[in-house]
Chain A
Amino acid sequence: MIDFKNVKKVYSNGVVALGGVDFHVDDGEFVFIVGHSGAGKSTLMKLLLREEIVTSGQVFVNNHDLTKMRNYKVPRYRRELGVVFQDFRLLPNKTVYENVAFAMRAVGTPAKKIRKRVPAILSTVNLYDKFDCFPSELSGGEKQRVALARALANNPKIIIADEPTGNIDPHMSMEIMNLLMKINRLDKTVIVVTHDQKLVDYFQKRVITLSDGKVVDDHVGGMFE
């Protein structure tokens, strides 16, 4: 469950990134967030991650009031989210397997459970045969699948992806999107920020359109319907 209530975000340099945003996402929904450059999409993601704090308004995620959350609670809260970035952010000196295992170890998962779960997740993203490769040996699409696997590692309820296909060719983008759909069918809420109009039109899911820090459109279907 994600709930934005009249959220304003003004950065310290005075830029109004979000100027009163309201929307609600139910558990298990799939939502695209679109908008021109500078519309405030990444800001919205940062608020979800509690990397930034709202200037006014309220953000609720899974019954946590992020506006009131204490700093020391943030790490545990973030384990309820899986994040994917445009630039993958894999550890270059670790193999595919280790990159995923690392995410589990970082939250204190016992080694035995890690050994059992990592292969399963790699299979989910169709990457099991590459478990021993280093990121430099992978294509963009494959790297993003590793990032997806890592996001899934700690079994979060919500997956958020900021332009996950931004650095990937169209064919591979389709594959990543299909994977996100598959993850959504595994009962996870999925929020995807994207610029890719074709993808949005193709999948016919809910689309929230931001413009200059405001929600200007929110409906199910393609971008311009």
Chain B
Amino acid sequence: MKKRYSLTYLIGESFKSLWRNGVMSLASVTVLMSCLIVIGGFVLIIFNINANVKNLGLMNEMVAFVDYKLTDEEIESIKTQINELDDVVEVIHVTKDEALEGLKENAGEFGDAYAELEGDENPLPDTFHVKYDDPSQASTIKYQLDHIEGIYKVNNRMQVAKTIDSIKNSISLVGIWFLGILLLVSIFVIVNTIKLAVFARRSEIEIMRYIGASGWFITLPFIFEGIIIGLLSSGVAYLIVWLIYRYIETNGMSGIDMITILPFSEINTVVLAGFVIIGVLTGIIGSCASLRKYLKA
């Protein structure tokens, strides 16, 4: 027995109902949209922190300073020893001359001030930038580096990364709480919107039940209504987030060179997909919660 319920009819009923319930529909969309914007904000902040941490090489990298006046052979042997450590994936040798060059470059027009320090006057040590793949091994690696002859100091950038990580965790935690609360509020508002919609059509529903309409035929328009609320909310939320983000991208942080802001084009798919999924799911959950009675029989 093939069912031939006309989908256009059912969706048409949903739009009619949304329209009839104007104020409540608007409230649902507004609340869900706000929820999505806040979630989006938190997620984007986390994304950007991650990107910056990566950019600054704070993750999975430490710097080993070697003693002054080592011979080239000694430095070469240190490099081999570091390379042989477990979990080390890359060792970059930065000579003191290169380090000075870097300083000069950063100083820009004042770079000449470093000119006197060139050659034998160079007070900088040679360094090794040690990259590793497993952050949990950081302290072991540091310990091993500290015990290599000729290394006098290991600068573990893990500490900075850890601080940033804990900031990130706090932001995530707050974000998750916001998410939970706002989602609950959204579901609550949607449940009431759909309940009103059901109430407005109760006589129709009663007749449908006597006629023998299936549970799906009765409930689908309301479920579609929830989906439409979800889609509208996620669409508008995406637009607003995009506008705000573009504003920050172009004007907001230009003063601080250290911080890079991810281009929106790199994250828009994730944001949009996330919004649509959360929005639609919330809509469906909201309408199903108010339709339990009819979904059963």
Decide: B297 and A71 in contact? CB cutoff 8 A.
Answer: yes
B200-235: which residues lie under 8 A (CB-CB) from chain A?
203-204, 206-215, 217
User: Does A197 reach chain B (CB closer than 8 Å)?
Assistant: no
Pick the interface stretch among B1-9, B144-152, B160-168: B1-9
Query: Distance (Å) between the CB of A111 and the closest chain B CB?
Result: 7
Query: How many residues of chain A get a CB closer than 8 Å to chain B's CBs?
Result: 26
B55-80: which residues lie under 8 A (CB-CB) from chain A?
none
User: Does A133 reach chain B (CB closer than 8 Å)?
Assistant: no
Whether A106 touches B297, Cβ cut-off 8 Å, given contacts A49-B210, A78-B211, A154-B211, is no
A25-45: which residues lie under 8 A (CB-CB) from chain B?
none
Query: Distance (Å) between the CB of B145 and the closest chain A CB?
Result: 68
Query: Distance (Å) between the CB of A105 and the closest chain B CB?
Result: 7
Instruction: Compute how far the CA of A80 lies from the CA of B210 in the bound complex, rounded to whole angstroms.
Output: 11
Instruction: Compute how far the CA of A64 lies from the CA of B108 in the bound complex, rounded to whole angstroms.
Output: 91
Decide: A111 and B6 in contact? CB cutoff 8 A.
Answer: yes
Whether A106 touches B213, Cβ cut-off 8 Å, given contacts A71-B296, A74-B297, A111-B6, is yes
Decide: B217 and A106 in contact? CB cutoff 8 A.
Answer: yes
Decide: B207 and A91 in contact? CB cutoff 8 A.
Answer: yes
Q: Which residues of B contact A216 (CB under 8 A)?
A: none
Whether A91 touches B203, Cβ cut-off 8 Å, given contacts A78-B210, A105-B9, A109-B4, is yes
Decide: B207 and A89 in contact? CB cutoff 8 A.
Answer: yes
A99-158: which residues lie under 8 A (CB-CB) from chain B?
102-103, 105-111, 150, 153-154
Instruction: Compute how far the CA of A187 lies from the CA of B209 in the bound complex, rounded to whole angstroms.
Output: 25
Q: Which of B6, B203, B212 contacts A89 (CB 8 A)?
A: B203
Query: Distance (Å) between the CB of B14 and the closest chain A CB?
Result: 15
B1-48: which residues lie under 8 A (CB-CB) from chain A?
3-6, 9
User: Does A200 reach chain B (CB closer than 8 Å)?
Assistant: no
User: Does A5 reach chain B (CB closer than 8 Å)?
Assistant: no
B263-297: which residues lie under 8 A (CB-CB) from chain A?
296-297
Interface residues on B, range: 20 to 34
User: Does A76 reach chain B (CB closer than 8 Å)?
Assistant: yes
Instruction: Compute how far the CA of A80 lies from the CA of B212 in the bound complex, rounded to whole angstroms.
Output: 9
Decide: B6 and A105 in contact? CB cutoff 8 A.
Answer: yes
Instruction: Compute how far the CA of A154 lies from the CA of B214 in the bound complex, rounded to whole angstroms.
Output: 14
Instruction: Compute how far the CA of A161 lies from the CA of B221 in the bound complex, rounded to whole angstroms.
Output: 30
Q: Which residues of A contact B203 (CB under 8 A)?
A: 89, 91
Instruction: Compute how far the CA of A78 lies from the CA of B208 in the bound complex, rounded to whole angstroms.
Output: 10
User: Does A193 reach chain B (CB closer than 8 Å)?
Assistant: no
Whether A106 touches B4, Cβ cut-off 8 Å, given contacts A75-B214, A89-B203, is no
Give A152-171 as 1s and 0s: 1 = Cβ < 8 Å from B's Cβ atoms.
01100000000000000000
Decide: B212 and A154 in contact? CB cutoff 8 A.
Answer: yes
Decide: B213 and A75 in contact? CB cutoff 8 A.
Answer: yes
User: Which residue of chain B has its CB nearest to the CB of A94?
Assistant: B204
Q: Which of B6, B206, B213, B296 contacts A107 (CB 8 A)?
A: B213
User: Does A195 reach chain B (CB closer than 8 Å)?
Assistant: no
Q: Which residues of A contact B204 (CB under 8 A)?
A: 91
Instruction: Compute how far the CA of A89 lies from the CA of B169 in the bound complex, rounded to whole angstroms.
Output: 59
Decide: A75 and B9 in contact? CB cutoff 8 A.
Answer: no
User: Does A210 reach chain B (CB closer than 8 Å)?
Assistant: no
Q: Which residues of B contact A105 (CB under 8 A)?
A: 5-6, 9
Give A4-23 as 1s and 0s: 1 = Cβ < 8 Å from B's Cβ atoms.
00000000000000000000
Whether A108 touches B3, Cβ cut-off 8 Å, given contacts A71-B297, A91-B203, is yes
Query: Distance (Å) between the CB of A210 and the closest chain B CB?
Result: 22
Decide: B212 and A108 in contact? CB cutoff 8 A.
Answer: no
Whether A79 touches B211, Cβ cut-off 8 Å, given contacts A74-B297, A106-B217, is yes
Query: Distance (Å) between the CB of B222 and the closest chain A CB?
Result: 15
21 contacts between A and B (CB under 8 A): A71-B297, A72-B215, A75-B209, A75-B212, A75-B213, A75-B297, A76-B214, A78-B212, A79-B211, A79-B212, A83-B210, A89-B206, A89-B210, A91-B204, A106-B217, A107-B213, A108-B3, A108-B5, A110-B4, A153-B211, A154-B212
Other A-B pairs, 17, CB within 8 Å; known A79-B211, A105-B9: A71-B296, A71-B297, A72-B215, A75-B209, A75-B215, A81-B212, A89-B203, A89-B207, A91-B207, A103-B207, A103-B211, A105-B5, A106-B211, A108-B214, A110-B4, A111-B6, A150-B211
Closest CB pairs A-B (n = 9): A78-B212, A106-B213, A79-B212, A71-B297, A108-B3, A75-B212, A75-B214, A103-B211, A83-B210
